[in-house]
Amino acid sequence: MTLTLRPLIPSDFGQARPMLLDMGFVESETALETRFPEFCTRPDWALLGAFEAEQLLGYAALQEYGTHLRSGNSHRTAKLHDLYTAPQARRRGVGRALMRSAEAWARARGLRYLFWYANLREATPAYMGMGYTAGEEVQEGYRFFEIDFGEASTRIPAPERHA
Protein backbone atom coordinates (compact mmCIF):
# COMPACT_ATOMS: atom_id res chain seq x y z
CA MET A 1 0.00 0.00 0.00
CA THR A 2 1.36 3.40 -0.99
CA LEU A 3 0.07 6.15 1.28
CA THR A 4 0.12 9.85 0.60
CA LEU A 5 -0.16 12.05 3.69
CA ARG A 6 -1.24 15.65 3.24
CA PRO A 7 -3.36 18.34 4.87
CA LEU A 8 -7.04 18.00 4.13
CA ILE A 9 -8.61 20.65 1.91
CA PRO A 10 -12.25 21.75 1.73
CA SER A 11 -12.98 19.53 -1.27
CA ASP A 12 -12.06 16.46 0.86
CA PHE A 13 -15.20 16.91 2.95
CA GLY A 14 -17.22 14.37 0.97
CA GLN A 15 -14.76 11.62 1.87
CA ALA A 16 -14.10 12.87 5.41
CA ARG A 17 -17.80 13.26 6.28
CA PRO A 18 -18.58 9.58 7.01
CA MET A 19 -15.44 9.32 9.15
CA LEU A 20 -16.29 12.45 11.11
CA LEU A 21 -19.82 11.18 11.68
CA ASP A 22 -18.53 7.76 12.75
CA MET A 23 -16.33 9.44 15.40
CA GLY A 24 -19.55 10.72 17.00
CA PHE A 25 -20.41 13.82 19.01
CA VAL A 26 -21.56 15.76 15.92
CA GLU A 27 -23.95 18.46 17.05
CA SER A 28 -25.22 19.20 13.54
CA GLU A 29 -24.22 17.79 10.16
CA THR A 30 -24.94 21.15 8.56
CA ALA A 31 -22.69 22.97 11.04
CA LEU A 32 -19.97 20.35 10.50
CA GLU A 33 -20.06 20.92 6.75
CA THR A 34 -19.87 24.68 7.31
CA ARG A 35 -16.97 24.41 9.79
CA PHE A 36 -14.85 21.94 7.81
CA PRO A 37 -13.40 24.43 5.24
CA GLU A 38 -12.49 26.86 8.02
CA PHE A 39 -10.68 24.18 10.02
CA CYS A 40 -8.70 23.20 6.90
CA THR A 41 -7.07 26.64 6.95
CA ARG A 42 -6.92 27.57 10.65
CA PRO A 43 -3.30 28.17 11.69
CA ASP A 44 -3.83 26.53 15.10
CA TRP A 45 -5.30 23.31 13.67
CA ALA A 46 -4.07 20.53 11.42
CA LEU A 47 -6.39 18.17 9.58
CA LEU A 48 -4.13 15.52 8.10
CA GLY A 49 -5.32 12.90 5.66
CA ALA A 50 -3.92 9.54 4.58
CA PHE A 51 -4.76 8.70 0.97
CA GLU A 52 -4.26 5.65 -1.20
CA ALA A 53 -4.56 6.91 -4.75
CA GLU A 54 -7.37 9.45 -4.30
CA GLN A 55 -9.24 7.55 -1.57
CA LEU A 56 -9.14 8.93 1.97
CA LEU A 57 -8.31 6.08 4.37
CA GLY A 58 -8.04 8.07 7.58
CA TYR A 59 -7.48 11.44 9.16
CA ALA A 60 -5.97 13.10 12.21
CA ALA A 61 -7.18 16.36 13.78
CA LEU A 62 -4.77 18.31 16.00
CA GLN A 63 -5.00 21.66 17.76
CA GLU A 64 -2.10 23.74 19.03
CA TYR A 65 -2.94 25.59 22.23
CA GLY A 66 -0.39 28.35 21.63
CA THR A 67 1.73 30.25 24.12
CA HIS A 68 1.17 29.19 27.71
CA LEU A 69 0.33 31.90 30.24
CA ARG A 70 2.98 30.88 32.79
CA SER A 71 5.65 29.07 30.78
CA GLY A 72 5.48 30.99 27.51
CA ASN A 73 6.69 29.01 24.52
CA SER A 74 8.80 26.51 26.48
CA HIS A 75 5.80 24.22 27.09
CA ARG A 76 3.66 24.83 24.00
CA THR A 77 1.24 21.96 23.65
CA ALA A 78 -1.06 20.41 21.07
CA LYS A 79 -3.92 18.00 21.51
CA LEU A 80 -4.70 15.18 19.13
CA HIS A 81 -8.49 15.36 19.00
CA ASP A 82 -9.12 12.62 16.44
CA LEU A 83 -7.27 9.77 14.82
CA TYR A 84 -9.51 7.74 12.54
CA THR A 85 -8.83 4.92 10.13
CA ALA A 86 -11.58 3.65 7.82
CA PRO A 87 -12.67 0.13 8.86
CA GLN A 88 -11.46 -1.46 5.59
CA ALA A 89 -8.00 0.09 6.07
CA ARG A 90 -7.39 -0.85 9.71
CA ARG A 91 -4.29 -2.82 10.69
CA ARG A 92 -2.54 -1.71 7.48
CA GLY A 93 -0.33 1.05 8.93
CA VAL A 94 -2.65 3.99 8.25
CA GLY A 95 -2.96 5.00 11.92
CA ARG A 96 0.79 4.66 12.43
CA ALA A 97 1.47 6.84 9.37
CA LEU A 98 -0.99 9.46 10.59
CA MET A 99 0.66 9.50 14.03
CA ARG A 100 4.09 9.99 12.42
CA SER A 101 2.61 12.86 10.43
CA ALA A 102 1.04 14.35 13.59
CA GLU A 103 4.38 14.13 15.40
CA ALA A 104 6.15 15.78 12.46
CA TRP A 105 3.58 18.60 12.48
CA ALA A 106 4.14 19.17 16.22
CA ARG A 107 7.93 19.08 15.91
CA ALA A 108 7.90 21.49 12.95
CA ARG A 109 5.98 23.97 15.10
CA GLY A 110 8.51 23.69 17.93
CA LEU A 111 5.96 22.21 20.34
CA ARG A 112 7.02 20.60 23.59
CA TYR A 113 4.06 18.24 24.10
CA LEU A 114 1.45 16.36 22.10
CA PHE A 115 -1.25 14.69 24.17
CA TRP A 116 -4.48 12.80 23.66
CA TYR A 117 -7.04 10.62 25.37
CA ALA A 118 -7.92 7.17 24.06
CA ASN A 119 -10.89 4.98 24.88
CA LEU A 120 -10.07 1.72 26.62
CA ARG A 121 -11.72 -0.56 24.06
CA GLU A 122 -10.15 -0.03 20.64
CA ALA A 123 -7.97 3.08 20.85
CA THR A 124 -5.75 2.38 23.86
CA PRO A 125 -4.65 -1.05 22.55
CA ALA A 126 -4.06 0.47 19.08
CA TYR A 127 -1.82 3.26 20.42
CA MET A 128 0.04 0.84 22.66
CA GLY A 129 0.53 -1.40 19.63
CA MET A 130 2.15 1.58 17.89
CA GLY A 131 4.59 1.88 20.78
CA TYR A 132 3.02 4.69 22.81
CA THR A 133 2.78 4.38 26.59
CA ALA A 134 -0.47 5.19 28.36
CA GLY A 135 -0.62 6.87 31.72
CA GLU A 136 -1.72 4.64 34.57
CA GLU A 137 -4.79 6.72 35.36
CA VAL A 138 -8.14 5.84 33.84
CA GLN A 139 -10.73 8.60 33.64
CA GLU A 140 -14.26 7.82 32.51
CA GLY A 141 -13.12 5.03 30.20
CA TYR A 142 -10.14 6.87 28.70
CA ARG A 143 -6.37 6.73 29.06
CA PHE A 144 -4.03 9.71 28.80
CA PHE A 145 -1.11 9.64 26.33
CA GLU A 146 1.61 12.26 25.93
CA ILE A 147 4.71 12.74 23.82
CA ASP A 148 7.38 15.02 25.25
CA PHE A 149 9.57 16.41 22.45
CA GLY A 150 11.98 18.09 24.90
CA GLU A 151 15.46 16.98 25.72
CA ALA A 152 15.41 13.81 27.81
CA SER A 153 17.19 15.57 30.69
CA THR A 154 14.45 18.25 30.92
CA ARG A 155 11.40 15.99 30.71
CA ILE A 156 9.06 16.16 33.68
CA PRO A 157 6.13 13.72 33.89
CA ALA A 158 2.70 15.37 33.62
CA PRO A 159 1.64 14.65 37.24
CA GLU A 160 4.87 16.14 38.58
CA ARG A 161 4.67 19.35 36.55
CA HIS A 162 1.03 19.88 37.55
CA ALA A 163 -0.12 20.06 33.90
Residue 105 has pLDDT above 90, yes or no: yes
What CATH number does residue 91 fall under? 3.40.630.30
Report the domain count for the chain: 1
Lowest mean pLDDT among 6-20, 28-42, 87-101, 125-139: 125-139
pLDDT of residue 159: 53
- How crowded is residue 139: how many other Cβ atoms within 10 Å of its Cβ? 9
pTM over 0.85: yes
Residue 6 has pLDDT above 70, yes or no: yes
pLDDT of residue 137: 83
Domain that holds residue 131: 4-161
Region 73-95: what's the mean pLDDT? 94
Region 81-92: what's the mean pLDDT? 95
Tell me the C-alpha to C-alpha distance, in Å, between residue 2 and each of 48, 77, 81, 126.
16, 31, 25, 21
